[in-house]
Amino acid sequence: MNNKNITIRDYLYEAPGPKTKRYITIGTVLSLICVAWLIYVIIRLFYENGQLDAKYWSIFTRATTWRFFGKGLLGTLEVSLAAMLVTFSLGMIMMIGRINRNKVISTIATVFIELSRGIPTLLFIYFFFLAVPQFGLKLPAFWKITLPVAISAAGVTAETLRSGVNAVPKGQREAAISLGMRDHTVFLKIIFPQAFRIVIPGLISELVIVLKDTTFAYVVSYADLMQNARVMISNYDALLSVYLVVAVIYILINYGLNKLSVYLANRRKRLQAG
Amino acid sequence: MAQATQAGTPVIELRHVDKHYGQLHVLKDINLSVKKGEVVVIIGPSGSGKSTLCRTINRLETIDSGEILIDGQPLPKEGRKLAELRAQVGMVFQQFNLFAHKTILDNVTIGPREVLKKSKAEAEQEAMQLLKRVGVDSQASKVPAQLSGGQQQRVAIARSLAMHPKAMLFDEPTSALDPEMIGEVLAVMTELASEGMTMVIVTHEMNFAKRVADRIIFMDAGAILEENTPEEFFTNPATQRARDFLESIQAH
């Protein structure tokens, strides 16, 4: 059997018979007509409101526009990468804390995880933007967006990692300690590598959220893609066109990340299921 | 292939071992002594405590009271000492428990490398010899999921042997295998027994037990009811419980 072609549909529905196949064909045609009609309506609305006028779109023919977006994109990628690294490090620390046998350490870690998961990202950003400077700590704008975004994602990451650790069969640990390995070796060499592979898709979803959260950079006036888009809009009054292009850029990046996740998950299945 | 047992300190000794799971008394005053080179097979109905007994010997299960001695030394309760002792007692599990993310070769070398601090080259050379001995050397670069159950269990035995254990524990090593693969695993175990390995085996394979055991331990409801040579036990069991058990498994 070719495992690659089995999708969620095969688990949910039985194989379609002739009648069902006919219904599926009719449904497909009807929905395609609906989609086409919807697109037509949207474009006509834009046209009637002048959003398709050349003045809103001609800016995209200039290299300076793309250079400006490029700078913003670089800012976004820098913050995202830094935030992802901080998220992962904090998540690891919290997860290791939470599974610690010491009740005090595990309780403290649990409290931090719940705070991180429960508080909205924007509140963390305001904290770093408004409260932290009052303690006399002058952080550059880069960290004022990176740290809160990372802290806000770290709790979920810790729990994702922990679910991976829990998903590793008990026998793996028993086999390792039976060979005479100590707890830390068992964790580093046997448990964690397997746990990590299990949660890669979950972690990448988390990275997508981190990347999207970096759009809050405008709050601290850090020049990311979103902030530069806002500058473009205020200069050219080209709200729809700019947001559309920026949305497409974000979609492409996150689509890439999701593809990476699927690729890694499939590779793991291939490796472990033969 | 029963061999004459040697005199001296027992390799494994249990004295008055008791264990409870809450209200359930799973091990009742267990006394057992295994000499060097001896093959002891534990049999009994499901839930009789035979797996639990096997797993207490390297402290995968803790005990409530009593004493366990390995080579005359009390079994350490934790830490480095316990780890060092576990390194000297091989364990083969019902579910093989090969490390799923490592190749067959790495499964066999990880113990010697991480615990005995052997060099990669030395560990791999010996691992290949062991894999050859159990007949899976051609699979060395695959991952466990690519092997059949019988092959995986033979790798698990090689993984234990790589630590040069004083004794080996087998916890129902063929119970998770398809019938056609049981023989190949039992063959490896028979060979080990004939080479003088000290073994404690929990199994349902009665013919194998007859052939290989120096001594049969029959357990029921957490207690050892009989301890005898295979000839005596299988032809003339002393207790009614053992007679019922042997009858029930021979019925089909």
- pLDDT (tens digit per residue) in B191-217: 999 999 999 999 999 999 999 999 999
Give the residue-averaged pLDDT of A244-256: 93
pLDDT of residue A55: 84
Name the pLDDT band for B139 (thresholds 50, 70, 90): very high
Asked whether the beta carbons of A97 and A105 are under 8 A apart, the reply is: yes
Name the pLDDT band for B5 (thresholds 50, 70, 90): very low
Give the residue-averaged pLDDT of B128-146: 95
Name the pLDDT band for B4 (thresholds 50, 70, 90): very low
Token pair listed for A268 = 């793991």
- pLDDT (tens digit per residue) in A24-36: 999 999 999 999 9
User: Does A172 sit within 8 Å of B87, measured CB to CB?
Assistant: no
Instruction: Domain ranges for chain A, please list them.
Output: 10-48, 64-273
Q: What CATH number labels A64-273?
A: 1.10.3720.10
pLDDT mean across residues, chain B: 93
- pLDDT (tens digit per residue) in A137-196: 888 999 999 999 999 999 999 999 999 999 999 999 999 999 999 999 999 999 999 999
Contacts of A200 in chain B (CB under 8 A): none
User: Does A178 sit within 8 Å of B89, measured CB to CB?
Assistant: yes
Give the residue-averaged pLDDT of A192-208: 91
| DSSP helix, strand, coil percent of chain B (3-state; round to 5) | 40, 25, 35
User: Does A174 sit within 8 Å of B97, measured CB to CB?
Assistant: yes
pLDDT at B162 over 50: yes
What's the pTM? Answer: 0.83
Contacts of B156 in chain A (CB under 8 A): 175
H or E element in which residue B105 lies: helix B104-114
pLDDT of residue A57: 87
Contacts of A175 in chain B (CB under 8 A): 91, 93, 97-99, 156, 159
pLDDT of residue A176: 97
Of B86, B99, B160, the CB nearest to A177: B86
pLDDT mean across residues, chain A: 90
User: Does A172 sit within 8 Å of B99, measured CB to CB?
Assistant: yes
pLDDT at A268 over 90: no
Quote the CA–CA distance of A237 and B183 in Å, as a whole number.
Answer: 80
Closest Cα in chain B to A171: B97
Give how far Cα A208 sits from Cα of A84, A141, A146, A195, A252, Å.
10, 21, 14, 20, 11
Contacts of A172 in chain B (CB under 8 A): 97, 99-100
Q: Which of A101, A179, A182, A185 to mutate to test the interface with B (most CBs of B within 10 A)?
A: A179
Cα dihedral sign for B131, B137, B143, B148?
A: negative
Asked whether the beta carbons of A226 and A246 are under 8 A apart, the reply is: yes
Give the residue-averaged pLDDT of B177-189: 94
pLDDT of residue B2: 41
Of A172, A181, A272, the CB nearest to B143: A272
pLDDT at B3 over 60: no
pLDDT at A9 over 80: no
Name the pLDDT band for A56 (thresholds 50, 70, 90): confident
Name the pLDDT band for A271 (thresholds 50, 70, 90): low
- pLDDT (tens digit per residue) in B51-102: 999 999 999 999 999 999 999 999 999 899 999 999 999 999 999 999 999 9
Quote the CA–CA distance of B251 and A246 in Å, as a whole number.
Answer: 75
**Which residues does A76 contact at the CB level (< 8 Å), separation at least 6?**
A211, A214, A215, A217, A224, A225, A226
pLDDT of residue B100: 94
User: Does B98 sit within 8 Å of A181, measured CB to CB?
Assistant: no
pLDDT of residue B7: 55
Q: Which of A165, A168, A178 to mutate to test the interface with B (most CBs of B within 10 A)?
A: A178
Name the pLDDT band for A274 (thresholds 50, 70, 90): very low
